[in-house]
């Protein structure tokens, strides 16, 4: 069995005998190479020894490694002054170099900013609201009284049933703005919402929505469709194909369901769109007069529309994130720099 002493003697002899840098490198790999270096093999065998043997042998081997590295450095320096490898050595010297650390914003922040900028340019205000909500502003003010079938769509997490809960949609912000401010206004807002679901790779009990609404002297479905089309073109490009269909939500009347033509099959039908050819993108409609009445706003004088969409799946698709749980911590990390931008 090769002993540390054997290795020391042989290695030192070969280091001294190396005639050039390439030869010296071969010696280094032979004894200190990570995979098959003789000294490293000995070091790996430490794990098969007893505790007492390891305590004895370990320091000896570590000292030998340091000794050999020193000998290599010394020989390298000698060769640098005496051989034509000097110029190569200068190039081979390690660079003291570190890529600059830049900070990154979360993918959801980047997405929300893009949409915020779009609406700010259209003259909208931005808004926010509480996440611990009341039944009043999460449901009743949105035309969903107790025992309304629409409540089944929500799966609420309660803090103090029935009064306090975690908001199930960002429409509660709409209810609060209607209560607090007098029209006219145009408002847009992102927000975090909660539903009582088990978290998995594709679903979560916390998700992010983006909503907006206007209350003006006149606002029509044509205005609403134009607004949504503008937003989708911003998010998906100018060639996106959208359709609008009648869809029920208690807080709007008429209600609208905007769909995007499936990007995978261009509307022919596939697994992505469940063979329908279209992908549901959210909800919208003319604000129900009950919401305005409850806020003390006369729907005969004011009309508005509202729209909303989910953000998480869009962000996941754009940033190639496979697991929805990543959006809220754990495995999310950032590269120092990008070779090419997919964004």
Restricted to residues 15-44, the positions that interact with other proteins (CB under 8 A) are none
Asked if 24 and 62 count as a contact pair (C-beta separation under 8 A), the reply is no
Asked if 205 interacts with other proteins (CB under 8 A), we say: yes
> Which CB, 76 or 204, lies closer to other proteins?
204
Choose one: 17-25, 28-36, 82-90, 102-110; the region binding other proteins (CB under 8 A): 102-110
Q: Which of 254, 310, 313, 318 binds other proteins (CB under 8 A)?
A: 254
Q: Which of residues 172-191 bind other proteins (CB under 8 A)?
A: 177, 181, 184-187
Asked if 240 interacts with other proteins (CB under 8 A), we say: no
Between CA 107 and CA 325 the distance in angstroms is: 13
CB of 96 to other proteins, least distance (A): 17
Element (H, E) at 285: strand 283-287
Cα separation of the two ends of the chain: 58
Q: Which of 87, 159, 266, 317 binds other proteins (CB under 8 A)?
A: 159
Asked if 79 interacts with other proteins (CB under 8 A), we say: no
CB of 201 to other proteins, least distance (A): 14
Strand 164-166: give its sheet, edge to edge: 132-134, 164-166, 158-160
Between CA 255 and CA 245 the distance in angstroms is: 8
Tokens of 217: 């002297």
DSSP strand pairing (158-160 vs 125-126):
unpaired
Residues linked to residue 186 through DSSP beta bridges, in sequence order:
214
The Cβ of residue 159 has, within 10 Å, a number of other Cβ atoms equal to 12
HSE-up of residue 80 (Cα within 13 Å, Cβ side)? 13
Tokens of 252: 């709007």
Asked if 146 interacts with other proteins (CB under 8 A), we say: yes
Asked if 223 interacts with other proteins (CB under 8 A), we say: yes
Asked if 309 interacts with other proteins (CB under 8 A), we say: no
Between CA 144 and CA 137 the distance in angstroms is: 10
CB of 169 to other proteins, least distance (A): 15
Asked if 255 interacts with other proteins (CB under 8 A), we say: yes
Within 8 A by CB and 6+ apart from 263, the residues are 236, 272, 279
Q: Which of 57, 247, 313, 318 binds other proteins (CB under 8 A)?
A: 247
Asked if 296 interacts with other proteins (CB under 8 A), we say: no
Asked if 151 and 161 count as a contact pair (C-beta separation under 8 A), the reply is no
Asked if 8 interacts with other proteins (CB under 8 A), we say: no
Q: Which of residues 260-289 bind other proteins (CB under 8 A)?
A: 274-276, 286, 288-289
Between CA 101 and CA 122 the distance in angstroms is: 35
In the numeric block, the tokens 């959208």 are attached to: 242
Asked if 103 interacts with other proteins (CB under 8 A), we say: yes
Q: Mark residues 45-74: x for contact with other proteins by CB under 8 A, - for none.
A: ------------------------------
Asked if 327 interacts with other proteins (CB under 8 A), we say: yes
Asked if 211 and 171 count as a contact pair (C-beta separation under 8 A), the reply is yes
Choose one: 7-15, 53-61, 83-91, 219-227; the region binding other proteins (CB under 8 A): 219-227
Tokens of 320: 């190639």
Tokens of 321: 């994130």
Q: Which of 86, 220, 268, 298 binds other proteins (CB under 8 A)?
A: 220
> Which CB, 94 or 238, lies closer to other proteins?
238
Q: Mark residues 121-140: x for contact with other proteins by CB under 8 A, - for none.
A: -xx-xxxx-xxx--------
Asked if 211 interacts with other proteins (CB under 8 A), we say: no
Q: Which of 32, 71, 80, 157 binds other proteins (CB under 8 A)?
A: 157
Distance of CA 315 to the CA centre of its chain: 7
If binding means CB under 8 A, how many residues of this protein chain bind other proteins? 85
């Amino acid at each position: 069995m090769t002993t540390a002493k054997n290795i020391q003697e042989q290695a030192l002899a070969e280091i001294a005998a190396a005639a050039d840098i390439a030869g010296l490198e071969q010696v280094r790999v032979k004894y200190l190479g990570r995979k098959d270096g003789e000294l490293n093999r000995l070091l790996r065998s430490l794990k098969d020894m007893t505790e007492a043997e390891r305590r004895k042998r370990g320091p000896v081997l570590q000292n030998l490694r340091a000794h050999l590295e020193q000998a290599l450095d010394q020989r390298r320096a000698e060769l640098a002054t005496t051989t034509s490898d000097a110029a190569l050595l200068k190039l081979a010297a390690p660079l003291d170099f570190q890529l600059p650390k830049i900070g990154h914003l979360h993918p959801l922040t980047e997405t929300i900013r893009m949409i915020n900028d779009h609406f700010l340019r259209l003259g909208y205000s931005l808004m926010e609201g509480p996440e611990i909500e009341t039944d009043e502003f999460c449901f009743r003010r949105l035309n969903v009284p107790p025992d309304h079938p629409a409540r089944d769509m929500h799966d609420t997490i309660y803090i103090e049933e029935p009064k306090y809960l975690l908001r199930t949609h960002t429409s509660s912000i709409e209810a609060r703005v209607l209560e607090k401010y007098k029209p006219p206004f145009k408002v847009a807002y992102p927000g975090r919402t909660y539903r009582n679901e088990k978290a998995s790779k594709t679903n979560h009990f916390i998700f992010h929505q983006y909503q907006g609404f206007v209350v003006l002297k006149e606002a029509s479905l044509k205005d609403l469709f134009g607004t949504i089309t503008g937003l989708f073109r911003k998010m998906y490009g100018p060639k996106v194909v959208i359709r609008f269909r009648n869809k029920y939500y208690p807080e709007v009347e008429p209600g609208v369901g905007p769909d995007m033509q499936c990007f995978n099959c261009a509307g022919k039908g596939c697994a992505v769109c469940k063979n329908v050819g279209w992908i549901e993108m959210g909800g919208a409609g003319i604000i129900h007069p009950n919401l305005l009445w409850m806020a003390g706003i006369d729907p005969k004088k004011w009309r508005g529309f509202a729209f909303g969409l989910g953000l998480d799946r869009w962000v996941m698709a754009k940033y190639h994130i496979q697991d929805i749980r990543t959006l809220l911590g754990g495995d999310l990390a950032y590269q120092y720099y990008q070779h090419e931008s997919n964004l």
